[in-house]
Amino acid sequence: MLRLEYKKHVFNFKQPSGTSRGVLKQKTSYHLIVWDSENPEVKGHGECSTIKGLSPDPWDEYESTLQQLKGRTEDLEFYLIQGLHRFPSIRFGLEMALTDLQKGGRRILFDTNFTQGKAGIPINGLIWMGKPEFMHQQIEQKINQGYPCIKMKIGALSFEQEMELLQGIRDRFGAKELELRVDANGAFAPEEALEKLKRLSGLDIHSIEQPIRQGQWDKMAGLCKETPVPIALDEELIGRSSEDAISQLLDYIQPQYVILKPSLLGGFEISENLIREAEKRNIGWWVTSALEGNIGLNAIAQWTATFNPKNTQGLGTGSLFTNNIPSPLYIADARLHFDPKNLWNLNSIHE
pLDDT tens digits along 240-259: 878 889 999 999 999 999 99
**Residue 113 belongs to some domain of the structure:** no
Q: Taking a C-beta distance cutoff of 8 angstroms, is the pair 156, 20 a contact?
A: yes
SS3 126: strand
**Residue 302 belongs to some domain of the structure:** yes
pLDDT at residue number 71: 77
pLDDT at residue number 24: 79
Could you read off the pLDDT of 287-343 as tens digits, one per residue? 999 999 999 999 999 999 999 998 999 998 878 899 999 999 999 999 999 999 998
Give yes or no: residues 186 and 334 share one domain.
yes
CATH number of the CATH domain containing 137: 3.20.20.120
Q: Residue 40 sits in which domain range?
A: 2-102
Give yes or no: residues 35 and 129 share one domain.
no
**Residue 171 belongs to some domain of the structure:** yes
Could you read off the pLDDT of 330-343 as tens digits, one per residue? 999 999 999 999 98
17 forms beta bridges with: 24
Catalytic residue among 43, 151, 153, 219: 153
Could you read off the pLDDT of 185-226 as tens digits, one per residue? 899 999 999 999 999 999 999 999 999 999 999 999 999 999
CA–CA gap between residue 20 and residue 153 (Å, rounded): 8
Give yes or no: residues 25 and 78 share one domain.
yes
Domain count, the chain: 2
Q: Taking a C-beta distance cutoff of 8 angstroms, is the pair 151, 182 a contact?
A: yes
Residue finishing a domain among 102, 131, 149: 102
CATH number of the CATH domain containing 73: 3.30.390.10
pLDDT at residue number 42: 95
**Residue 89 belongs to some domain of the structure:** yes
Phi first, then psi: what are they for 167, rounded to 5°? -65, -35
| pLDDT-derived band at 72, boundaries 50, 70, 90 | confident
Give yes or no: residues 137 and 235 share one domain.
yes
Q: Taking a C-beta distance cutoff of 8 angstroms, is the pair 73, 4 a contact?
A: yes
Q: Taking a C-beta distance cutoff of 8 angstroms, is the pair 165, 135 a contact?
A: yes
Give yes or no: residues 94 and 147 share one domain.
no
Q: Taking a C-beta distance cutoff of 8 angstroms, is the pair 181, 203 a contact?
A: no
Catalytic annotation present for 341: no
Lowest mean pLDDT: which of 20-34, 86-100, 154-168? Answer: 20-34
Q: Taking a C-beta distance cutoff of 8 angstroms, is the pair 96, 110 a contact?
A: no
**Residue 222 belongs to some domain of the structure:** yes
Give yes or no: residues 247 and 158 share one domain.
yes
Give yes or no: residues 17 and 161 share one domain.
no
Question: Is pLDDT larger for residue 237 or for residue 346?
Answer: 237
pLDDT at residue number 62: 94
Give yes or no: residues 34 and 163 share one domain.
no
**Residue 70 belongs to some domain of the structure:** yes
Residue finishing a domain among 44, 71, 102: 102
Instruction: Tell me: pLDDT of 20 over 60.
Output: no
Catalytic annotation present for 153: yes
Could you read off the pLDDT of 104-123 as tens digits, one per residue? 999 999 999 999 999 999 99
SS3 328: coil
Give yes or no: residues 133 and 72 share one domain.
no
pLDDT > 90 in the chain, percent: 74
Give yes or no: residues 128 and 69 share one domain.
no
pLDDT at residue number 294: 96
**Residue 155 belongs to some domain of the structure:** yes
- Overall average pLDDT of the 60-88 stretch: 81
pLDDT at residue number 199: 97
Phi first, then psi: what are they for 325, rounded to 5°? -80, 120
Instruction: Tell me: pLDDT of 158 over 60.
Output: yes
Instruction: Quote the DSSP letter at residue 124.
Output: P
Q: Taking a C-beta distance cutoff of 8 angstroms, is the pair 266, 241 a contact?
A: yes
Give yes or no: residues 28 and 133 share one domain.
no
Helix (H) / strand (E) containing 65: helix 62-71
The pLDDT mean for the chain works out to 91
Instruction: Quote the DSSP letter at residue 69.
Output: H
pLDDT at residue number 351: 59
Question: Can you say whether the dihedral through the CA atoms of 251, 252, 253, 259 is positive or negative?
Answer: negative
| pLDDT-derived band at 348, boundaries 50, 70, 90 | confident
Could you read off the pLDDT of 120-140 as tens digits, one per residue? 999 999 988 888 888 889 899
Catalytic residue among 261, 280, 310, 341: 261
- Overall average pLDDT of the 37-62 stretch: 90
Q: Taking a C-beta distance cutoff of 8 angstroms, is the pair 45, 295 a contact?
A: yes
Give yes or no: residues 126 and 272 share one domain.
yes
- Overall average pLDDT of the 268-274 stretch: 94
**Residue 109 belongs to some domain of the structure:** no
pLDDT at residue number 327: 95
SS3 241: coil
